[in-house]
Amino acid sequence: MHIFISVDIEGVAGVNEGLQGQRGNPEYEVARRLMTEEANAAIRGAFAGGADTVTVADSHGPMRNMIVDQLDPRARVVSGRARPLSMIEGIRADHAGAVLIGYHAAADNFGVLAHTISGLAFRRIEVNGVRAGEPTLFAGHAAEIGVPLLAVSGDDRLEAEIAEQFPAARSITVKRCISAIASESLSPDEAREKIEQDVCEAVQTAADTEVKAPCTPPLTVDIGFGKQLFADAAALMPFVERTGALDVRFVAKNHAEAIGVLSGFSLMASALA
Ligand SMILES: [Zn+2]
């Protein structure tokens, strides 16, 4: 049984603040280690639950945050950018389930460091009228190719989103959101124990887990950009419809296509900023 794990940083226990996700400062060096250890807890849980191969994708910012020589050597690692499937790159139809670790609530929701793909680029993303977070898109792609979302870790605001969009998935809540940059968090040790245990149980029942994406193609993607200039640039593409000063719309034939366009727009916004 193959299990796929995608790891972000904002939803890791003890991470609250933007600097913890940014290279070049001592806070980041601590946070990337916390991220690596939560990934290890999920990898241990997956193997204990019956996986015989585990692929883990480093999925924050530059996508090379985890300290690879401290990762469980049984796992295969996807790292670096720009990846066609971004945070879910490496998933295959023969995977038995997907697990998201260190995730966070969607742009335009409450949540610790809530955003979707890029806090700079996007103020809000909606897919078929549904407020889209990263699980909506990336676990949506997994579901589209037949892979169920098994478990997700992060804060209590993310838990509420998952309950609505992926009711079959298990939420592993490691912190309570107090503000955009404050939380009441489990200790890293307790968070890892909980992740290991819950991922193990979720993997054991993978075969019975419902496979369902919250949005079904074709996908109408509505974007509210953070700056008018980003919308100006996006609207240069022939498939993009301008819907407002900061807003555009496009239609994607599947999740992979939507992910590709959004990743491109995110890179474009960073270049323009
Ligand atoms: Zn993220």
Helix H, strand E, coil C: the string for the chain is CEEEEEECCCCCCCCCCHHHHCCCCHHHHHHHHHHHHHHHHHHHHHHHCCCCEEEEEECCCCCCCCCHHHCCCCCEEECCCCCCCHHHCCCCCCEEEEEEECCCCCCCCCCCCCCCCCCCCEEEEEECCEECCHHHHHHHHHHHCCCCEEEEEEEHHHHHHHHHHCCCCEEEEEEEEEECCEEEECCHHHHHHHHHHHHHHHHHCHHHCCCCCCCCCCEEEEEEECCHHHHHHHCCCCCCEECCCCEEEEEECCHHHHHHHHHHHHHHHHHHC
- The model's confidence at residue 252, banded by pLDDT at 50, 70 and 90, is very high
Residues of the chain with CATH 3.40.50.10780: 2-116+133-208
Contact call for residues 180 and 18 (beta carbons, < 8 A)? no
Residue range 101-112: average pLDDT? 98
Host H or E run for residue 87: none
pLDDT value for 155: 98
pLDDT tops 90 at residue 82: no
Q: pLDDT (tens digit, 9 = 90+) per residue, 121-130?
A: 999 999 999 9
How many Å lie between the centroid of ligand 1 and the Cα of residue 121?
A: 13
pLDDT value for 160: 98
Nearest CA among 101, 132, 102, 83 for reference residue 4: 101
CA distances from 81 to 69, 88, 136, 214 (A): 19, 12, 21, 26
Give domain 2-116+133-208's CATH number out of 3.40.50.10780, 3.90.1200.10, 3.30.1230.10, 3.40.190.10: 3.40.50.10780
How many Å lie between the centroid of ligand 1 and the Cα of residue 11?
A: 8
Q: pLDDT (tens digit, 9 = 90+) per residue, 4-58?
A: 999 999 999 999 999 999 999 999 999 999 999 999 999 999 999 999 999 999 9
How many Å lie between the centroid of ligand 1 and the Cα of residue 119?
A: 9
pLDDT tops 90 at residue 1: yes
The radius of gyration of the chain from alpha carbons, rounded to an integer in Å, stands at 17
Residue range 256-271: average pLDDT? 97
How many Å lie between the centroid of ligand 1 and the Cα of residue 208?
A: 28
Q: Longest C-alpha distance within the chain, in Å?
A: 51
**Does pTM surpass 0.95?**
yes
How many Å lie between the centroid of ligand 1 and the Cα of residue 61?
A: 8
Lowest mean pLDDT among 28-32, 80-84, 141-145, 173-177: 80-84
Supply the mean pLDDT for the chain. 97
Q: List, edge to edge, every strand of the sheet that includes 2-7.
A: 76-78, 53-58, 2-7, 95-101, 149-155, 170-179, 182-185
pLDDT tops 90 at residue 232: yes
Residue range 226-245: average pLDDT? 98
pLDDT value for 19: 92
Residue 200 corresponds to which tokens in the numbers above? Answer: 């193990």
How many Å lie between the centroid of ligand 1 and the Cα of residue 217?
A: 23
Phi-psi region of 154 (alpha: psi -120 to 50; beta: other; left: phi over 0): left
Active site residues: 115
- The model's confidence at residue 156, banded by pLDDT at 50, 70 and 90, is very high
The 8-class DSSP code of residue 206 comes to: G
How many Å lie between the centroid of ligand 1 and the Cα of residue 107?
A: 10
Distance CA 3, CA 56 (A): 9
pLDDT value for 91: 98
